[in-house]
Structures are given as C-alpha cells and as structure tokens.
Structure 1
Amino acid sequence: VQGGSTAAGFPFYYGGSFADMLEQRLLQSAPERPVEVINTAMAAVNSYTLLDFVDEIIEQEPDIVVIYAGHNEYYGALGVGSTFSLGSSPTLIRLFLSLDHFKTVQALKALLSRIASIGKPAVEEGSGGTLMSQVVGEQSIPLGSRLYQAGLDQFRGNLRRILKRYQKAGVPVYIGTVASNLRDHRPFVSQLAEATDTEQFREAVRALATAEQRGDSVSVLLELVDRLIAIDSLAADPYYTKGQLLLRAGRDPEALDAFIAARDRDQLRFRAPQEINDIIRAEADAFDAVVVETERRLATTAVRGIVGSDLMTEHLHPNVEGYFQLASAFYEQLASDSAVAGWQQTITDDAARSELLVTEIDSRVGEYRIKQLTGSWPFQPAGTLSRYTLPERSEDPIEQISLDLFRRKVPRNVALDALRSEYLKQNNFHDALRATLAVVQRYPFLSSPYVSAASIMVEQRRLDEALLYVDAALDRDSSAEALSLKGSVLLAKGLRAQAIPVLESALQLNPESIPTGYNLAGAYALSGRIADARALVEDILRRDPGNADARRLAESLGR
C-alpha cells in the first residue's frame, strides 16, 4: 500500500486502517496461502515520495500494489506549497531525489530540514501545534493559479512515472480515487479575487445575513447566494453556503455540485481538488492500472449521497466506517478481477464488519489525535493557542491504558495485553479475543498471541477454532504452554489418544507444570492406564498438598 496519512490509517492506524482491514479479509478469502499487506504509507508525503519508493517496492516482487494518494500534492514533502520545497520544477526535484544516495546530497537535505525547523517547537500534547500546521508554506493557492497548476502537473508527472515503472515490471496496480469531507467541512480559506469589488461583495453578504434573520425562504436565500457567486466566482464560502441551502431544499445532486465547487476553491489546499481524481483516471487508463472508485463508494454509503461527518473525522481522514468502506471497495475490485491466487470464499461486508480488529483503545487514541489536530490552526484561528486537555490519570482502567498508549508510555502490544487482561477480569471474552487477535495481526510471527487467542476460544467453547490457533502457535514455537493447551483442547473434544502424546511432550518440556500433569493423569485414567495416572497425581500432591482437584482424582483412582 502506498499513500499519505489516510493510507496509513490516521487517526486509528493498525486495525483501523483500510490496509489492515483489507489484509484481514484477504486472509479469510485465501486461507491456504500466505497473505501479507505491507503498508508503506506515511503522513505528509506526496507523489514524490511514492515515486522514490517504487524501485524498492518492485525489488520485493509484490503481487499487487494499492495506491490511495492525492491530497498531499501541495503541502506534502517537496510539494509546491510546502515549507520544505525546492520550487515548482518537478525535473529538478526528481533529480534531487535521484542523487539522494550521495553523502553531499544527504547532508544538504539534513541542513535544509534543520533550517526549516528553526523556531518550530516539537508538537506535544496541549501545545496547539500539529504537523499539519507546520508543513504549509503557501496559505493561499487560488483555483487556476500558477501554483495550483504546478501541483497538478507535479502529480500527473510523478503518477505517470510511478505507473509506467510498475507496468514495465509487470506489477498490477489498483489506485483509488480520493475522497474528502464535502458536506460538513467549511473551506479553510475563502478569499476574494484581486479584481473583486470588496464593498459590493460585503453588501451582498449583509443582504444574505438580513434575509436569513428575517426567515426568508430558501429560494430567496439561494438567489442572494448566487449574487455573491456572480460578484466573485472564486470565493469558496458562497458555494458552501449554497450547498447547505440546496440540502435544505432537498436538491441533493445540486448540493453535491456546490460542495465540490466549494472544496475546489478552498485556497488552503489540504483537500485534493476534483482534477486530482481526473488525473488518476486518465493516467491509470494510459498504463493499464485499475481505478477503484473509492470516492464514489463513500458517497453511495454517505448520508444523502454526500460525504460528511458520518464517514469522516474532520476534513479528509475517514472514521472507522469510512475506512471500512475504502477497504471494501478495494476488496470487491480484487475479488471481481480474481486478482488473488488461492481465493476460496468471498467475505460479506456484514461478516467482515463484525470481525474488525479495531479495539477500544484504538478508538480512544484516535479521538485524542483528532482533538489534537482540530485544536490548532487551520481548524482554529491563526495565533490562537487552543489547548486540548486530557486527564493525567483515570479511574477507568481502559481509559488509563489508552492515555498511556497515546502518550507513548507503553508500546501497543503491551497496551493490548493490558486491555485483554482487563476484559478477562470482566469475563468479557468477546472483546478480550478482539484485543488478542489485534496482536496476532500485528505480530504474526510470535507464538504467544496465538496461545492467548486459543485460550479465550476455549472459554467460549470454540474448540475447533482454538485448535487451529494453537497449531499456528506450535508452527512458530513448540512451547510447553502451547503443547499443554493443545492437549487440553483435544481432551475436551474427546480425543484422548491424540491428547496423551501431546501432553507428554508438554510435560517433558516443563515437568513442574501442575495443570499439564493433572490433564495427563486424567487422560491416562480415562484410557485405563491407572498406574501411570496414580503416579502423576501422587507427584502433584507431593508438590501441592492442597490441590483439591488432584486429591479428588486420586480418590477416584483408589489404591
């Protein structure tokens, strides 16, 4: 996966990203083959970074490349409006990147980075500063201006090179159209053109405000908004107001057009204009890439067919449902194209949604990140130090785990383990399993998370699934814990003959394990090996005289 912060999964990341959701679904659809979705996306990068990664990605011989990018062309690293820009010449910038392996160029980049950061404090909780507020060099890029066109040319040229290289290497590319919050996000910057009669525009604004206060009809208000647009067709706010009025009138298709016009005229260019998607479609067609209409997918599921806060956390980052829809769009296209070898079954949206690995701490940390982002410019007025505050300590154990994770006091795997333990205290096996499976997805090479998942499945009496997970654990590490658990699961399934050698192996690895010895003694007894069972029970009672279960088993065995 290639892209910026949306492709990376901000603000949730991990199970809340569309990449992880897609991987989880593909694993279920093709269970007989290894599936790994590698996410190279990161915040504040644009098509230059994507292009820079292409050769290294090709070296890994991927089956498919998924791209979701386009919002960062102006303010991403080396973008035409970024604080770290080398100008608007794509040729010069690509040359700069191609020389990156030379030590002199690396030193120059480091120097430029230090210069760019002078006077900029580190972004910390409560500081009111964000990466978003630090990357903007040009706060006003009007529609159709030189910089606006330079951003489009930059994207077109880089995307063309990206797709051409993948095509030459024989790597299929699935590229999504980008979506943003149209309905519920007012433009960041709405400015008048230099030639506009400012006083005439202000008079028209006052007339509109007066009409609203009088309670005039929507049709009257629309006429007044159209007058504003006639005075200055490049100002963004009148189009946004028109979209809201058209929604009130029930004229949703026209409202959509007005919201698109408002976004495209927003001079602070964090949201990609419609022309970015036009470029995606044209370049994909030229180089045999598959266009996934992710923007359209979000619109079809949005309230009234216009993407808003029902699918977005702020101006362009999706919420969990929004990310789910992005993942579903890519998944369905891959299924339709039979693009994944070993495909056995198609997972429905309902089934996939019920098994999402977005935990409660992921959701809470995501909320904290959104509060941090929207607490400063450009969501707040420039110069306003808008602090967001979070408690230092919380009586709610899950909130405390979330706070510690957000403040990076603990790594995520430790936080998830604490979350699992908290749920188990509450006998909440469903959410405990979700937290454990989130660790499995992130660290599939570790044995212990599979053992933990299998243990919870045993509590839920999901023995067949537990056996699959404990076998996966044993594939990674033949630990005494995993062998003991497998033996107990086999016993619970009534498979004593299979359970005995497994439990014997577990006991050989850990002779001090009383639970393993007890289970093996029970298996021996049920199999008629009374002497072997008695010897194990007596050994347990020597080490743990108060063990009531072992004493009852000893009494049942007799002398």
Structure 2
Amino acid sequence: MNKTRFHDYGTQATLSGKKRMLVIKVISILFPFLIIGGVEAGLRLFDYGHSLQLFITSPQNHDYYQLNPAASLKYFSNADIATKGNSELFKKVKDPGTLRIFVLGESTTIGYPYFHNGSFHRWLQFRLMHTNPDQRLEIINLSLTGVNSYTVEGFAKELLPYQPDAVLIYTGHNEYYGCLGTGSTDKIAGSSFLVHLVLQLRELRITQLMANALQKVPPLKLSGKEGGGKTRMEMMVAEQQIPLGSAMYERGIAQFTANMDNTLRILNGANVPVFISNLVSTEKDLFPFISIAPDSTTYPNFGAVYRQGEQAIAKGDSAAAMRYFLDAENSYSAHAGCNYYLGVLALQKGDSSAAKTYFDKARDLDALRFRAPSKLNKVLLDLCSKYKNAHLVDANAAFEAASPGHIIGNNLILEHVHPNLNGYALLSDVFYNTMKKQGLFKAPNDSAMSFAQLLQAMPVTVIDSLAAAYKIAHLKGSWPFNTTNVHDTTLIASEEQQLAYEVAFRKTSWEAALQQLYHSYNQNGDFARAATIVAAWVQEHPTEAAYYEEAGNYNGKLNNTAEAIFYFKKAFAMSPTFDVARTLFVLYLKQDNAGKALPYLNYAIDHNERRLNLLPVKDCLLRILELQTVAAREPANIAVLNQIAGLYFRMGNKDGAELYVEKVLQASPGNRDALHIQSQLKKA
C-alpha cells in the first residue's frame, strides 16, 4: 500500500510539473502579444497616430459625420503623398425619406481638375435637387486622387452601417499606378492576402509608430532632390513599361477583378444598389506614352519602315504613310505608335470605324498604363451580370455617341482620362438616367430638369473653369506629357484670372477666392454673377440654410421667381422662420399661386414675431381662392376677374393685379374697373 501511495505522489508531482511547464510556455507565447497590446493601449491612451476609420464626427456640426481626413493613410505607405478627399456632411441620424448616396472612386470621380461643382456628383446633386425639390438628399463623395480598387473595396466595407440607399462607383484608371497598384512605387509585393493583411495592421498605432520611425531613416526617406519638382503622378510610377499581356499587366487585371468582385458582393449582400460606370479615356487626341519596340533581330524590317511612315506623315503624304505603317503593322502588330498613326490616317480617309479599332488598340498597347485597358470594361460588364444589385452605367457608350465618329477625344477629355466640364456633365447624365431607370428616384414630368436645362443652369464659376485650365497646362508641361507651348493659357489679365491662378497653385483657397470675387461683383452691381457664386456655395454646403436663403434673395433681385422659390423653400424646410415664410407667401402670390401661398401665410401668422396685422391679408387671400374657383368654372366672368385684380392690388401684389387686369382688357378693352386698377398700378 505504501509503495502505491509513494507512486501516486510521484505521479502527481510529475503531472504538476508538466502543468507548470505548460503555463510557462503559454505565458512565453502570450507575453510578446501582451507587451504589444500594452504598447498599443498606451499609444491610443496618449492619442498617438491616427484613427483610420472611414468617418468622424464633423468638427463643424456634431450632429453630422464626414470623411475622416486620415482615412487615406491606411492605403498610402508614404504619408507625404497621401491625398485627402471632400468634407461633405451627412446626418448621424438619417431623416425619414432621405435619399443617401455614397460615391467611391479616384481622381475622375472627385472631379479633377475642377473639384467642387465641376465634379460629376455635384452636377447630379444639382439636378436631383431641382427635379425633386421636396426630397431630402445626401450625396457624399468619398473619392480620393491617386487610389485604386483597394481603396474602393476598403471604403465599401465600412459603408453599410451608415444606411446607404445607393453607391456610385467610377474606378479603374489607377489600377497600375495608384497606391498599392502593381506598377506603383507605393506597392506591397506579394499576394492580395498579404496586401489586405498589411492594410489591417496599419490600423494599429504601434504599426504607425514603426512606419513613422522607418520614414525618418535617411536611406529610406525620399530626399527633397528626388521628390522636388515631380508631380504625384511621376512619384507614384515605378514600372514605366507594362506590356499588354505581361505578368504585371495580368496581375493588375486580376487585382481589379478580385477587389471589385468583393466590393459588389459585399454591397449586393446588403441589398444596396450599386451603379458602377465603365471607363472613358481619350483615344484620337493622345499619342501613346510608350510603345514597346520589337526586337530588331526578330523583326528586322519594322524600324526602317516605321521611320519611313513618320517621314511621309511629316511631308503630308498620307497615302505613302498609310502604306508604310500597314507594312510595319503586318510585320509587328504590337506597336502602340504604329496603330495610333494608322488610326489618324484612317480618320483622314473618313473611315471612322477602322480608325476607332486602331485607336483602341493603340491605347491598350500603350505600356505606360495611365489609361485603363479595355479589358477592365469587360470585367465590369461581367461583374454587373453576376450581381442583381449591380447596374452598369455605360459612360463609354454615351461619350462615344457624343464624339465625332464615335471616337472619344478632346471634345470631352482634357488630357488622357479626366473629362472637361461637358464631359463631367455627361457622366452625371448617364448616372442620372441609369438610376432613374432602376427606380432609385422619381422624376415627375412637370419638374424634372432636362440635361439641356442642367447645362444652362449649373453654377460652375469662372474660378472653377480657369483654375482647371491652369492645372492642366501645368500637367501637360510635366512628365509624361512634356508638352511645350502651354504658357499662353496662364496669362493673367483680370482679377478672375489672378484668383483662379492662385487657387490652381494653392496660394489661396477656393472659398477665399470666391469670397473676394463675390464682393467685387456686388460692388460693381453684377448681381447675376454674384448669384452664381452663392448658388455654388449652396452645392458646397448643402446642409446650411443660410446659403439657400441668400441664393433666394439674389434670384428675387433678378426676378427669377421660380428659382427664388426653390431656394427659399429649401431654407424653410431646414430652418423655418417668419421672414422666409412671408417671403415665400409673397413670391407665390407673384406667380398667382394663392393655394401654395396660404400655408406660408398661416405659418407667419402663427409665428408673428414682428406683430404685423396679417389677418386682413388672410381674408383677402381666402376670398381670392374662392373667386379663382368661380373663374375656373366661368373664365369669361369679367366681374370676378376684376375682383381678383382689386384684391391683389390691396395686398400689394402688383404682378398678380397686372395679370388679371390684362385678362380683363383682352376680353373687354374698355372695361372701366380694369382701367381704373391699371392707372392705380402705374401710380404705385
């Protein structure tokens, strides 16, 4: 028995020792993680680094969210070239009936080089506001310059808790050279899994600490000499030659396909409609940046024949040039420049179909991949057929239809991929019509704003258009364009040009420039241009009632009664006041719309802070409504029309009184009552 007991003690001691060793091993394994966790907690406690969540509470109004300015740091390895987006607000608590739309993408999507009201989402916002003036609308553009599908996918993952009614996407041109692109300087070698892992790790403050420390190591830090004078475009390109069909080319296609597939899967699973546009770029007005020359041993005749073709073009001998370039193409068909020349020559012959084929091929063969290859549009088409909530916005077809010979060029594109103002307006139109077709909003025939009306009314200021021209001139004088003779576009001969130049090169802000111009216009009595600036501010600050009220005032000065009513109604819906209610009452009476005037008169009576005697006015209005009912049944009743004219005159509504006097005098030119009211109106 004693031996058994001693044997049990020995077994228990052995087991106890094994448990202690297990605990020690577990602690040894967990200890580094505990240290890391402690450091991470400490860094967060002392607010080191950045929170990289998509949205933050707006510093301007704590009832609203806005895009986190630091959100891009998750995607850019180098904080010095990380871009920031818009600060467009949306309510933390979504109002019932609100149409909330998020926009995802890259530089085209944010509206480069115009930004602000030149961007397609602002054209869309302006049109939707006017088409459905009573609809609560929030369009929040989350796009960034220099990003690609990784950022679109990452932002899409964070959107769902914020109740999107739709997501609009335009992306693809930056797939190779945007941050994390396969050919960019800001890339992570390896699989997509590794990229996503690194993106998750960047949210940790300890990772940010390590990254900041590495940035300060001299051999790893970009010197001023290397980065100085270079555009972001140039600094982000690592691989200048990515041939069609190469391994790096195919990785870019695969990367885009996987990221966009994941984006659409996430949004489709939440039943969020997605409107994703295919891509447009210039074809006939941009010679390929880099053409891959063939091996002279394998293709000995190509170089000589190609040079003969160039010489023939220089001499103006199109027929000879066509023969030479066709010979070169038959020898070696993968030269971008050769296909471009063939496109130009085919277009000169009037064969736009052949020209388009050559231009498309030239773009796809261009080894400097600043323009998305046509294969990405095929990817988007396939993905939209895969997910029921994904709807293709066929911008490419719309741009081709609006271009001579269906070949996109500088009629709609500024340089290589960014639309001009007409192009951005057209892009908004394709999104608008696709969304309308899918029933995302209603467009009543009596209030829907047509595309022609949009082009006429959109408040794009001279600062927007001129600043964009200066930016593009500067861009075209830089790599990879290196265009000469662009200085004429930067001549400064007016205050507007000076302010636009300062905006373009960040010597002043867009807001400050518009403010200065606004005061100049007012001093000179140019209220029409001042009204355009105020309307531009409305688009920039759609949550602030004061801008709507000011826009209403200017349109009232200009006798644009319908537009004045539009803006005052928006202001009243956001912040109802006695003054705005009384103004709307007066404006509706000017339009002879007593029925719509009555609710605002009632509000003014109920909130009569001025202590005005408005009850007699209401009595007159109610009497007018009764008489208008009679006039609708008896349009030839002169006595009724005269009574309405008299009542309008008593209320001080000269426009309404004149309208009814004219009706009477047309039917009865010598009517005494009407002539008497007319004489009083002339004296008033």
1:166 is aligned with what amino acid? Answer: L
Q: In the TM superposition, what is the alpha-carbon distance from 1:25 to its structure 2 partner?
A: 1.3
Residue 107 of structure 2 corresponds to which residue in structure 1? 5
Structure 1 stretch 177-186 or stretch 493-502: which is displaced more? Answer: 493-502
Residues 1:195 and 1:165: Cα distance change in structure 2 (over 3 Å) = farther
Calculate the TM-score normalised by the size of structure 1: 0.81
2:365 partner letter? R
Deviates more, 1:402-411 or 1:262-271: 402-411
Taking the aligned partners of 1:81 and 1:111, their CA distance within structure 2 comes to 25
Q: Does 1:399 align with 2:497?
A: yes
Q: Does 1:254 align with 2:354?
A: yes
Q: 1:223 aligns with which of 319, 323, 331?
A: 323
Query: Cα–Cα, structure 1 residues 114 and 33, in superposed 2: closer, same or farther, change >3 Å?
Result: farther
Residue 256 of structure 2 corresponds to: 155
Q: In the alignment, residue 365 of structure 1 is paired with which amino acid?
A: A
Shift, 1:453, TM fit = 1.2
> Aligned equivalents of 2:444 and 2:362: distance in 1?
43
Correspondence for 1:176: 277
Closer/same/farther in 2, CA of residues 453 and 387 from structure 1, 3 Å limit: closer
Deviation of 1:276 (Å): 0.7
The partner residue of 1:294 within 378, 395, 399 is: 395
In the alignment, does 2:451 pair up with 1:353? no
The within-5 A match list for 1:85-164 is 85-110=187-212, 118-120=222-224, 128-164=229-265
Aligned residue number for residue 439 of structure 2: 338
Flag the structure with larger Rg.
Answer: 2
> What residue number does 2:88 align with?
none
| Deviation at residue 476 of structure 1 after TM alignment | 4.5
Q: Structure 1 residue 89: deviation in Å?
A: 1.9
Corresponding position of 2:59: none
3-state SS, counterpart of residue 257 of structure 2: helix
Shift of 1:148: 0.5
User: Percent of counterpart pairs with the same letter?
Assistant: 30
- 2:609 is paired with a residue of what secondary structure? helix
* Deviations, residues 274-314 of structure 1 (Å, cap 9, x unaligned): 11111111112112211111111101101221000111110
Q: 1:283 aligns with which of 370, 379, 383?
A: 383
Spell out, residue by residue over 1:27-62, the C-alpha distance to the aligned partner (whole angstroms, 9 max, x if none). Answer: 222222211211111111000111111122122111
Shift in Å, 1:407 = 3.9
**1:364 CA displacement:** 0.6
For 2:490 and 2:230, how far apart are their aligned partners in 1? Answer: 16
Contact 2:129–2:137 under 8 Å retained in 1 = yes
The one-character-per-residue Cα deviations of 1:343-381 (angstroms, maximum 9, x if unpaired) are 665422111111112111000111111122112111128
Give the Cα–Cα distance (whole angstroms) in 2 for the partners of residues 327 and 379 of structure 1. Answer: 28
Pair 1:73 & 2:73 matched: no
User: How many angstroms does 1:445 deviate by?
Assistant: 2.3
Whole-angstrom CA distance in 2 between matches of 1:360 and 1:387: 19
Match of 2:268 in 1: 167
Q: Are the counterparts in 1 of residues 296 and 303 from structure 2 also a CA contact under 8 Å?
A: no
Matched, 1:233 2:333: yes
Equivalent residue for 2:531, pick from 403, 425, 433: 433
The corresponding residue for 1:314 is: 415
Q: CA deviation at 1:435?
A: 1.4
The one-letter code sitting in structure 1 at the alignment partner of 2:398 is R
Contact 1:243 1:258 in 2 (8 A): yes
- Secondary structure (helix, strand or coil) at the match of 1:505 reads coil
For residues 153 and 214 of structure 1, the distance between their equivalents in structure 2, rounded to whole angstroms, comes to 44
Q: For 1:380, which of 482, 489, 494 is the aligned residue?
A: 482
> Map of 1:361-510 to 2, 5 A cutoff?
361-380=463-482, 396-477=494-575, 498=601, 505=609
Q: Matched residue of 1:36: which SS?
A: strand
The answer to whether the 8 A contact 1:46-1:73 is kept is yes
The CA distance in 1 between the partners of 2:510 and 2:311, in whole Å, is 54
1:205 is matched with 306
Corresponding residue SS for 2:392: strand
Q: RMSD between aligned alpha carbons? A: 3.4
What is the Cα deviation at residue 466 of structure 1? 2.6
**Residues of 1 paired with 2:453 and 2:299: CA distance?**
56
Aligned CA distance change for structure 1 residues 457 and 329 (closer, same or farther; 3 Å): same
Residue type matched to 2:126 in 1? Q
Secondary structure at the residue paired with 1:10? coil
Evaluate the alpha carbon distance shift between residue 356 and residue 96 of structure 1 in structure 2; reply closer, same or farther with a 3 A threshold.
same
Deviation at 1:160, TM superposition (A): 0.8
Say which SS state the counterpart of residue 275 (structure 2) adopts. strand
Report SS of the residue matched to 2:137. Answer: coil
Shift of 1:447: 3.1
Q: Partners of 2:207 and 2:488 in 1: how far apart?
A: 39
- Does the aligned pair in 2 maintain the 1:375–1:387 contact within 8 Å? no
Deviation sequence 1:364-419 (CA, Å, 0-9, x none)? 111111122112111128xx9x999957xx56222233233334444333332333
Matched, 1:186 2:186: no
Distance 1:388 1:108, change over 3 A: farther
On the 8 A contact 1:487/1:502 being kept in 2, the answer is: no
Report the secondary structure of 1:84's partner residue: coil
Cα distance between partner residues in 1 of 2:477 and 2:168: 32
Question: Are residues 360 and 205 of structure 1, via their aligned partners in 2, closer, same or farther at CA, if it must alter by over 3 Å?
Answer: same
Q: Which moved more, 1:128-137 or 1:69-78?
A: 128-137
Aligned partner letter, 1:239: N
Per the alignment, residue 47 of structure 1 pairs with 149
Counterpart-to-counterpart distance in 1, 2:559 and 2:403: 39
Higher relative contact order (CA 8 A, sep 6+): 1
Tell whether the 8 Å contact from 2:132 to 2:448 is kept in structure 1 after alignment: no
Going from structure 1 to structure 2, the CA distance change for 1:449 and 1:117 (only over 3 Å counts) comes to farther
Post-superposition offset of 1:231: 3.0
Q: How does 1:48-63 map to 2 (within 5 A)?
A: 48-63=150-165
- Whether the 8 Å CA contact 2:394–2:430 is kept in 1: the answer is yes
User: Of 372, 394, 398, which aligns to 1:272?
Assistant: 372
**What is the TM-score normalised by the length of structure 2?**
0.67
- Separation (CA, whole Å) in 1 of partners of 2:545 and 2:494: 30
Native 8 Å contact 2:436 2:443 kept in 1: no
Aligned to 1:15: 117
Q: For the structure 1 residues 268 and 29, does the alpha-carbon distance in structure 2 shift closer, same or farther, using more than 3 Å as the test?
A: same
Residue deviations 1:508-542, cap 9 Å, x none?
A: 9xxxxxxxxxxxxxxxxx889xxxxxxxxxxxxxx
Distance 1:193 1:114 in 2: 43
Decide whether aligned partners of structure 1 residues 112 and 225 sit closer, same or farther in structure 2, where only a CA change above 3 A counts.
Answer: farther
Distance 1:108 1:162, change over 3 A: farther
Q: Which moved more, 1:312-321 or 1:111-120?
A: 111-120
Letter in 2 for 1:299: E
3-state SS of paired residue (1:35): strand
2:148–2:181 CA contact under 8 A, matched in 1: yes
The Cα of 1:337 is off from its aligned counterpart by 1.6
Higher mean alpha-carbon deviation, 394-403 vs 246-255, is at 394-403
1:196 deviates by 5.5
8 and 422 in structure 1: CA distance in 2 versus 1, 3 angstrom threshold: same
Report the alpha carbon displacement of residue 128 of structure 1 after superposing the two structures with TM. 4.8
Query: Once structures 1 and 2 are overlaid, which stretch shifts more, 341-350 or 474-483?
Result: 474-483
Counterparts in 2 of 1:222 and 1:41: CA distance versus 1, 3 Å: same
Whether the aligned pair in 2 keeps the contact of 1:474 and 1:482 (CA below 8 Å) is yes
Judge which range, 248-257 or 227-236, deviates more.
227-236
